[in-house]
Amino acid sequence: MTPTEMTLMDEPDRLRVALTPIRRRLLARLREPASAVQLAIELELPRQRVGYHLRVLEEAGLIELVEERPRRGFVERVMRVTANAFLVDPGVLTSPNGADGADEAGKADGTGGGEGGDDGGAEVAEGFCRVADQYAAEHLVEVAADTVRDVTRMAAAADRKGVRLLTFTLEARVRFAEPGDVHDFTDALADALSQVAARFDTPGGRPYRLVAGGHPAPGPRETGGHDTSDTPERDGPSVPEAPETSS
């Protein structure tokens, strides 16, 4: 059985297990199967220390046994990760109890939100405020967090069943002359989206959640690059002054 592509880290205790530097190194290395002996040699660490951390990771369900090899006087256990990528649920860091009600729903059916992920989206970590303003950055972040949570859970469930979760992603860049153009663009996009959705919406079909959001493209300072005198933002209003959009 191969590792799932992604798994959601939505339990604080499980997250704490994975966050220590040595365990992060072990998780990265164990995308390819290896034993404690191999890892100890590669990482230049005592085998007993590596073995201890492997046991903790295995108990947390982050790695699993691939095979056992008889060696002189002992059995060598070969381990690997249970997922190729571990994604942190944004709510874990803001909710006092870590996983919320959506977690229990996810455990029940293995999807964390049913066919369309609506149940998972209805239960959001307490650290996020429900903001009705479609131009609020908080609302965009909340919607993005819901998307990470729902898609990761459903993708993992699909992986376990040996089927593919059908998703799609659209991206575009647009340059606005004035901040007010963002509002006009959002209205036009919402109108176009509603028409296309109405055209394809079929009673009894599988529901999909479509998210359209926009935010200023990061400048040199945000991305860690070097600011230069010929940066376009210096000649007029900087791009980050335009409000974020989400629908």
Q: What is the pLDDT of residues 81-119, one digit of tens each?
A: 988 888 887 777 665 544 443 343 333 333 333 344 444
How high does pLDDT run on average in the chain?
A: 76
Q: Are residues 166 and 65 in the same domain?
A: no
**228: in domain:** no
For residue 50, give Cα distances in angstroms to 40, 56, 105, 136: 6, 10, 36, 46
Distance CA 108, CA 67 (A): 30
Q: What is the pLDDT of residues 147-199, one digit of tens each?
A: 888 888 888 888 888 898 999 999 999 999 998 999 999 999 999 999 999 99
Cα gap 45→53, rounded to integer Å: 11
CB-based contact 115:207 (threshold 8 Å): yes
Judged against a pLDDT cut of 70, whether residue 137 lies above it is answered with yes
Q: Give the CATH number, domain containing residue 50.
A: 1.10.10.10
Instruction: Tell whether 70 and 24 lie within a shared domain.
Output: yes
In this structure, are 117 and 72 located in the same domain?
A: no
> What is residue 92's predicted lDDT score, i.e. its pLDDT?
73
User: Which of helix, strand or coil describes residue 198?
Assistant: helix
Helices then strands, each counted (H, E), the chain: 9, 7
Domain check: are 9 and 77 in the same one? yes
Where does 30-90 have alpha helices with state H?
36-43, 47-59
Task: Using the predicted structure, report yes or no on whether residue 74 has a pLDDT greater than 70.
Answer: yes
Higher pLDDT, 207 or 144: 207
Do 175 and 93 reside in the same domain of the chain?
yes
> And the tokens for 104?
């229990």
pTM to 2 decimal places: 0.56
Q: What is the pLDDT of residue 94?
A: 60
Q: State how many domains the chain has.
A: 2
Which of the listed residues 54, 86, 118 is the one where a domain comes to its end? Answer: 86
The confidence score (pLDDT) of residue 230 equals: 42
Are residues 82 and 146 located together in one domain of the fold?
no
Q: Please give the structure tokens belonging to residue 191.
A: 């109108």
DSSP H or E run through 87: strand 83-88
Contact in structure between 63 and 57 (CB atoms under 8 Å): yes
In this prediction, residue 1 carries a pLDDT of 60
Comparing 37-41, 57-61, 89-93, 95-99, which segment has the lowest mean pLDDT? 95-99
Specify the range with the lowest mean pLDDT, choosing from 5-14, 63-72, 93-102.
93-102
CA trace torsion 114, 99, 128, 57 (10° rounding): -110
Q: Is the pLDDT of residue 64 over 90?
A: yes
Crossing angle of helices 137-161/101-109, nearest 10°?
20
Long-range contacts formed by 101-107: CB under 8 A, 24+ apart = 102/149, 103/10, 103/11, 106/10, 106/153
Using pLDDT thresholds of 50, 70 and 90, give the confidence band for residue 224.
low
* Average pLDDT score over residue span 50-70: 92
Q: What is residue 159's predicted lDDT score, i.e. its pLDDT? A: 83
Instruction: Judge whether 201 lies within some domain.
Output: yes
Please tell me whether residues 152 and 55 are part of one structural domain. no
Which range is least confidently modeled, 31-35, 205-209, 240-244?
A: 240-244
Position 131 scores a pLDDT of: 41
Q: Which domain holds residue 37?
A: 4-86
Q: What is the pLDDT of residue 13?
A: 84
Question: What percent of the chain clears pLDDT 90, i.e. is strictly above it?
Answer: 38
Domain assignment present for residue 227? The answer is no
